[in-house]
Every structure is written in structure tokens, then in C-alpha cells.
Amino acid sequence: MEMPIIPLIMCGGAGTRLWPASREVRPKQFLPLFGTRSTFQDTLRRVSGGLFDRPIVITNASYRFMVLEQLAEIGIEADVLLEPMRRDSGPAIAAGAAFAQNRDNDAIVLALAADHVVPNDAAFVAACRQGLVAAGEGRIVTFGVKPERPATEYGYINPGEAVAGEVRAVAKFVEKPDAMKAADYVNSGYLWNSGNFMFPAALLLDEYRKVDAASVEAVSNAVANAGRDLGFVTLEPKAFASANAISIDYAVMEKTSRAAVVPVSCGWSDVGSWRAVWELSEKDAQGNAAHGTAVFEDSRNCNVTTDQALVALEGVDDLVVVATVDAVLVSRQKDANGLKRLVTKLKTVAPKVTEEHLKVHRPWGSYQSIDNGVRHQVKRIVVKPGGRLSLQKHHHRAEHWIVVRGAARVTVNETVKTVHENESIYIPMGAVHRMENPGKIMLELIEVQTGSYLGEDDIIRIEDDYLRS
């Protein structure tokens, strides 16, 4: 019987290359960019069952409840490792490898980015089978995508001698090229470096130790002394903090003599720009793509993504238009650096639209502000079955709750009461209160706050199921 592969899904990154859809609090890997599932969810489903063991997910602590929610949506269970701070991909993969070794000392790990698109799952899994043989023979195998065009946004791999089946040794990793070099690379049979890897956990840690033994020691200690809260594996912060921030490429891949590459044709993309989203999208005869409601008049090769508003384009070509409730982007996308400069500017003049979404995810569900006045705010709140907000009070606001779906169990000071659909309850200023969903369906309610100060920081938490302060 084949050795099972342990998937290690890395989803702790926060990019703004897909702003305004992607933001600090909910980055690209958690967004349903194509259809209804996120790339994080698609990645998990790609390596579910068959060859693959229970996955390990490693993420930033701030994304922990989003990860749980997205796992639950697709019915996949995983061990979720929390990084207390970002240390780049080297320590993340080392932590995953060390954790996998606890499960099986001879574990073979498949480290995958959570924000890539792979249209051809079968081709990818076939490549995993090839890679598994080479990994079993002591190789750190990277997935090399057969180029579809002379891309300048990816690094390349020059494949060397044959290793096992189609797997080749890595002769050389090369950086992102200019257009001329890229054409040379493609003609010479180079492969795109996808940044996904398969390796025996023990081998990866050994090779990493040769370069930075102290960081491997630190990461191993962070795993050995990890806490367990609410089912999460919380890496020990002091130890993890002392590991050097470095990418797995610099820490291991570009230095090890064990690097190998398995060629794969799976339609892969790292979705690193809005242009890439357009390339991956279905388009009309004029080359226009629409995610959401869009109308095109005399326009070509445009890409519209909209949450809610209808977007109408007239007389324009090669534009990306992204409309969210609080921010609209219109960009030529002639080079991806333009958006980077724009977001840098926004971080100074309007930081909120780069960091937060209007819809805020919480461990118990979510809320969204739908109206703001001088002395009032209206929120739509959704509480999952079994979800319970903290026991809390506010100094400066009273709240009216109207249940529009499901039922709420509400505590106000000494009394506990069930509020049903089409019923309301009033929380006076200063009252100690709590809301929970005791039912089997989502609870939806409208909250109307009134008062002189309505900031999120006027919450005094007295008790919290989710250990938030």
C-alpha cells in the first residue's frame, strides 16, 4: 500500500494585489473569486481522500475562525496550526513538517499555497503520484508547471537529469525574467516554479538545519510546546518569534542538492493580479468577463467584479473594474506595480479600505454595518447554530434587536428570554447582555444602535466562549 501524503495548506498570507476584493482581514485565499468556493476550499478538496491523509492547515492566528468556517462549509476536518506572527514560508513549512512527524515520523508532506487555481485536478493528482515516488527516494520535489506562454511574473526551473518516472533533478532555479529571457526559457524547456512542494518531513528539516539550525530548533520547540485552545494548535509564540523570517526557496530549495521537479500541465495560476483573474474567467465574444451584474457597450477585454451594484462600461478597453460597497477600483492594469503603488497611497489616505471589509467575520458568525447616522447605526447580524456572543455591556449605546430569521436566546441582566422571528428586544445602555443561537438554522437579526458614541471599542467583555479580550 502507498504511503499517504499529508497535505499542508499554507493560508496565512495577506496580499493586496487583488484589492479591493482582497484586504488584510480577509485576503484572496478566502474569497470566492470564481463561483462559490474560495481557492483555500478548492485546494483542500483537491487533496481530499485517495492518496491523501487528514490535512494540516497553517495560518495566521487572526484568520482562525475564517479557516474553521470555510472548513465546515465543505465538510473537511483538519489540524489547524496557528502562527502567532508572520515568519514567511520557511518557518511555516518547517512547523508543518515537525507537526506531521508527530503523526508519523516518516511522513511525506505536500505543502500547498492556498491561493492558487488548478483547473485540472486530475493532472495535479497524477503529478502527486509521480512526486511521491521521488520523495520516497529522498527528494524534495517541487511542482514545475509547463509554460503556456512566456510569463514574466513567475520564476522558472531548469530541469536536469531524470530522477524517477517524469521527475527530473533541478539543475537551476531562476528569477522572474524579462520578456526576452522568458521566451528563451520557454524554448529551452524550463518550467514555471509553482511554489508547491512534496518532501519527507525529516528530510526537509535536515536540509533546513544545514542552513539555519537555530530556526529549525525554534520552530520545533514552538510545535512541541504548542497550546491547544478551542481545537486549534497554537504555536508557542516566544519560540516561533525567534525563528528567522525567510522563504522556503531561500532557506532550502535553492541550496539543497536533493531538489527535484515534477512537470505538470494542470492549467495552474497563482492568481497574482486582476489580469490573471480575467485570464481565468469566462469571456463574451468581445473578451469581457463579468463576476456579478455588468453591462458592456462598445467595450473590449474588460474584467468586472461587483458585489452588489450594476457596473456599466461604455467605450472602454482593457480595464479592470472592481466594485465593492465601500470601494471601487478602475485600473488599466498595464502593469501590476500600478495597483501596488495605488494601495500604498491608499494605506496613507484611506487605510480602512485596504484593511477591513464591511462584512466582519467573527467566531460566532458575522455582522455588517448597513446604515450610519450621527446618533445611530444599523447592523445585520448572523449567528451560526450554537454560536454565542460574549457576555458584554456598552457604556454609550442602547440596542434594539429585531429577529428576522431563526430564534435568539437573549440574556439581559438577570433575565433570559427566547426571541422568535418577528419579535424584538431592547438592551438598555449599561445592561449586561448576551445573544446566542440555540437553534438548528442560522439566526439573522437587525440591530439598531442609538447613542452618542457607536465605536466597536465600546464593548466591555465579561465572558467569552472564544477567549477574546
Stretch that binds its own copies, among 115-123, 213-221, 247-255, 376-384 (CB under 8 A): 376-384
**Residue 330 in contact with its own copies, rule: CB under 8 A:** yes
Shortest distance, position 413 Cβ to its own copies, whole Å: 18
Look at residues 410, 466, 396 and name the one whose alpha carbon lies nearest to residue 438: 410
- Asked if 145 and 268 count as a contact pair (C-beta separation under 8 A), the reply is yes
C-alpha cell at position 104: 508519523
Shortest distance, position 453 Cβ to its own copies, whole Å: 14
Give the number of other Cβ atoms within 10 Å of residue 334's Cβ. Answer: 9
Residue closer to its own copies (CB basis): 48 or 368: 368
Residue type present at position 361: H
Strand-by-strand arrangement of the 289-291 sheet: 289-291, 303-306, 320-323
Strands 408-412 and 415-419: antiparallel
Residue closer to its own copies (CB basis): 349 or 467: 349
Q: Tell me the per-residue interface mask from 283 to 312 with its own copies, x by CB under 8 A, - otherwise.
A: ----------x-x-xx-------x-xxxxx
Residue closer to its own copies (CB basis): 107 or 408: 408
**Residue 323 in contact with its own copies, rule: CB under 8 A:** yes
Q: Tell me the per-residue interface mask from 392 to 411 with its own copies, x by CB under 8 A, - otherwise.
A: ------x-x-x-xx------
Q: Tell me the per-residue interface mask from 335 to 364 with its own copies, x by CB under 8 A, - otherwise.
A: x--xx-xx--xx--xx--x-----------
Strand, helix or coil at 402?
Answer: strand
Contacts of 110 (CB under 8 A, 6+ apart): 5, 6, 7, 8, 47, 52, 128, 131, 196, 197, 198
Contacts of 321 (CB under 8 A, 6+ apart): 294, 302, 303, 304, 305, 306, 311, 313, 328, 329, 330
- Determine which helix (DSSP H) or strand (DSSP E) holds 75, and give its type and residue range: none
Number of residues engaging its own copies in binding (CB under 8 A): 60
Stretch that binds its own copies, among 5-13, 76-84, 235-243, 326-334 (CB under 8 A): 326-334
Q: What is the footprint of its own copies within residues 13-72 (CB under 8 A)? A: 20
Task: Using the Cα atoms of residue 64, residue 69, residue 72 and residue 76 in order, give the sign of their dihedral.
Answer: negative
- Asked if 49 and 26 count as a contact pair (C-beta separation under 8 A), the reply is no
Stretch that binds its own copies, among 67-75, 79-87, 102-110, 331-339 (CB under 8 A): 331-339
**Residue 452 in contact with its own copies, rule: CB under 8 A:** no
Binding-site ranges for its own copies (CB under 8 A): 20, 293, 295, 297-298, 306, 308-316, 319, 321, 323-335, 338-339, 341-342, 345-346, 349-350, 353, 370-371, 373-376, 378, 380, 398, 400, 402, 404-405, 421-422, 424, 426, 444, 446, 448, 450
